[in-house]
Amino acid sequence: MLASLVVCAVTDAGAGPAAVAVAPPTVRLAALSVRAPDALTGSQFLEETKGWSESERQRAALGEFERGNMPRFLDRLRPVRLSHRPPRGEAITATVWVTADYLAVGSDDDFLYVPLTRPSANRVAERFGCVLPTPRIVDAIYEQARVQMTPQPLPAGPRMASNAYYARHQQLIAAQRAGTEPGVLVSGHKKDLVVTNRLLTRPDRVAIYGWHRGIGKPIQPLSTVHGAKYADYSHGVRLVWHEVEIDSVRRSIYDVLADPELAPVLTREGALRDAHALMESRRRETGALAASPPGSS
């Protein structure tokens, strides 16, 4: 796999046509354990957790992620470029690094997308030195994805959080991505858990957004209808690296999201008032997560 990709920059209205640019090298997840040879595959995890309660399944999934039981193609994050032109001044360009796909348990050949509750998603993000995306980042990921899949909703009902629904949706997605090279950026097949200022007034909720039917056409508008511990088959967790490159300078993504001048490159809400609180995380030493710099192998 090449260490860099050619992608189209995302621009705001009035900023001119999107420019083609070579993105910086990718980044590796921090603190990802080696996957054990006898680790559960996605199919085995699905069978083992059949009939379990949501809380039991969440604990099981977190345990698998802690042990590094996820496809190796999620290890190398993919660059996504964004651009914003303020009313005055020069355009701001940014690069974020994101997982190529949504979090899943298992191997490259046999994995299962596991929807996570907001507390679980935040815990996994913290573990790997990442944050959740904003809706604007979700849009940029979809626009720049090499494979843009078509959403495939299943009938609404009480079984939306069941293993049966997880398995059926997995089959539908697998059919679409057949022949896709592992590790390329893919999007469109799940709704994203996202960060938004709305959660500051509704900390008991989860924010979801996306499931695109085309560029600028998400099925799911930004919503905080569900409780923080709700997850169903349509939800996915994509991780975003804790650093962002702004005009060739590396910065903390928390600092950028809090900066009224820089935040619009990553979010349409202006500055996020407390990004740490949104992620329920107060990282004292991000460097302690043994992060690998861009270009490492």
The pTM for the full model equals: 0.85
The CA–CA distances, whole Å, from 147 to 7, 144, 176, 180, 265 equal 13, 9, 9, 8, 24
Domain residue extents for the chain = 6-280
Q: Is the pLDDT of residue 279 over 90?
A: no
> How far apart are alpha carbons 90 and 17 in whole angstroms?
15
Please report which confidence band the pLDDT of residue 248 belongs to, taking 50, 70 and 90 as the band edges: confident
Please report which confidence band the pLDDT of residue 98 belongs to, taking 50, 70 and 90 as the band edges: very high
- pLDDT of 295 reads 38
Three-state SS sequence of 247-283: CCEEEEHHHHHHCCCCHHHCCCCCCCCCHHHHCCCCC
Of 100, 131, 101, 106, which Cα lies nearest the Cα of 118? 131
Q: Which two tokens stand for residue 57?
A: 């399944």
Q: Is the pLDDT of residue 280 over 80?
A: no
- pLDDT of 25 reads 56
- pLDDT of 31 reads 83
Please report which confidence band the pLDDT of residue 89 belongs to, taking 50, 70 and 90 as the band edges: confident
- pLDDT of 26 reads 59
pLDDT in tens, 13-43: 333 333 333 444 558 888 889 999 999 999 9
> How far apart are alpha carbons 41 and 281 in whole angstroms?
30
pLDDT in tens, 42-77: 999 999 999 899 999 999 999 999 999 999 999 999
Please report which confidence band the pLDDT of residue 278 belongs to, taking 50, 70 and 90 as the band edges: confident
Please report which confidence band the pLDDT of residue 272 belongs to, taking 50, 70 and 90 as the band edges: very high
Say which residues have a Cβ less than 8 Å from residue 155's Cβ, sequence separation at least 6: none
Q: What angle do CA 206, 99, 17 make, to 5 degrees?
A: 95
User: What count of Cα atoms within 13 Å lies in the side-chain half-sphere of residue 245?
Assistant: 16
pLDDT in tens, 152-184: 999 999 999 999 999 999 999 999 999 999 899
**Residue, of 292 and 68, whose pLDDT is higher:** 68
Q: Is the pLDDT of residue 270 over 60?
A: yes
- pLDDT of 4 reads 27
pLDDT in tens, 99-144: 999 999 999 999 999 999 999 999 999 999 999 999 999 999 999 9
> How far apart are alpha carbons 176 and 224 in whole angstroms?
29
> How far apart are alpha carbons 128 and 130 in whole angstroms?
6
